[in-house]
Structure formats: structure tokens, C-alpha cells
Amino acid sequence: MTLKINTIKPKYGSRKTTKRWGRGGGSGKGNFSTHGCKGQKARSGGCKAPGFEGGQTPLYLRMPKLGGFRNPRRIEHKEVNVGDLNTNFKDGEVVNKESLFHKNLIKDLETPVKILGNGELSISLTIHAEKASKSAIEKIEKAKGKLVISPKA
């Protein structure tokens, strides 16, 4: 006889059939089939829901429902202050994303840059950025610098 995949069977005695509880008094587990007498646990589907705390309001209902709203299309800008530009650049230099990245003022080249007006600017710079605050624009113009705002600087 040849060995075929459809003729393979486990060794006799290695597999036992599971006992079918709840099939009457002759099943060997009695009339109530280990469920005890009556009650919630004796019924079919009779179990407490996950998180049930004995009738007390459960933790997942006591917590606040929502955590606010996050706009998926919001554009986050990396902020650079004019005071940082004053300490890291020399007079007459061009400030763009690459130069800010090499001076470790921004961490990556993909996110847009916004120039903020915190600090003092005493040197003349040509700055390329996506956005700038009003106070930053005033300080750059006061220092006789130039600000070029472009969508992709």
C-alpha cells in the first residue's frame, strides 16, 4: 500500500474527543452540566461584559469622550527668531533653509520656516522663508536687510 496524504491518521489513543457538556443527564456531568442552579452564569451567553465593575459606572465611561480636534491639513512651521540669526550669521550673508540646516537652527529641509521677531537684529541679511511675523519684518527692514517670502524657499 502506498502512503498518501489522505490516508494519514494520528496514532490510536493519541487524540481524545472533547466531552460535550450540557447534553442531558446521561452526559456524565449531571443535569446542570457544571453551571450550577439558575442565575446569570447558567444561561447561554451569560457573562459580564469586559469592563463591568459591579454596577458602578465603569472607567471607560468616566473618562472624557473626545480629546479635541486635529486638522489633518494643518501646516506646521519651524520657527527661527531674528536673535538666533544675529548670533549665527555674518553681515551680508544669505539665509535660506540649507544655511539654517547647516547651522542647526532647523532639523530638516522639508518643513516650512517662519521667522519670528524675538531678539535683536543688528546685521544686514537676505532672508528666504515661507512666512514671517510683523515684528520680524520690521526688525529686518530696520537693519537694512531683505526678506524674500516664497511658498517654497
Beta bridge partners, 143, equal none
**86 has a pLDDT exceeding 60:** yes
Mean pLDDT of 74-95: 94
Please indicate, yes or no, if residue 43 is contained in any of the structural domains: no
Mean pLDDT of 34-50: 85
Please indicate, yes or no, if residue 55 is contained in any of the structural domains: no
**Would you call 78 helix, strand, or coil by DSSP?**
strand
Please indicate, yes or no, if residue 145 is contained in any of the structural domains: yes
CATH of the domain at 122: 3.100.10.10
The pLDDT confidence band at residue 32, using thresholds 50, 70 and 90, is confident
- Percent of the chain past pLDDT 90, that is, above it, reads 63
> What span, in angstroms and rounded, lies between the C-alpha atoms of 49 and 40?
12
Whole-angstrom Cα Rg for the chain: 37
Nine-digit cell at 108? 530638516
- Model pTM? 0.56
**153 has a pLDDT exceeding 70:** no
The domain of 135 spans 78-149
Task: Return the percent helix, strand and coil in the chain, to nearest 5.
Answer: 25, 15, 65
Q: DSSP per residue over 42-98, as a string?
A: GSTT--PPTT-BTTBPPHHHHS-S------TTPPP-EEEEHHHHHHH--TT-EE-HH
The pLDDT confidence band at residue 46, using thresholds 50, 70 and 90, is confident
The total number of structural domains in the chain stands at: 1
Please indicate, yes or no, if residue 48 is contained in any of the structural domains: no
Please indicate, yes or no, if residue 125 is contained in any of the structural domains: yes
Mean pLDDT of 52-60: 92
Please indicate, yes or no, if residue 59 is contained in any of the structural domains: no
Please indicate, yes or no, if residue 85 is contained in any of the structural domains: yes
Beta bridge partners, 79, equal 114
Beta bridge partners, 113, equal 78
| Closest to 109 measured CA to CA, from 123, 117, 98 | 98
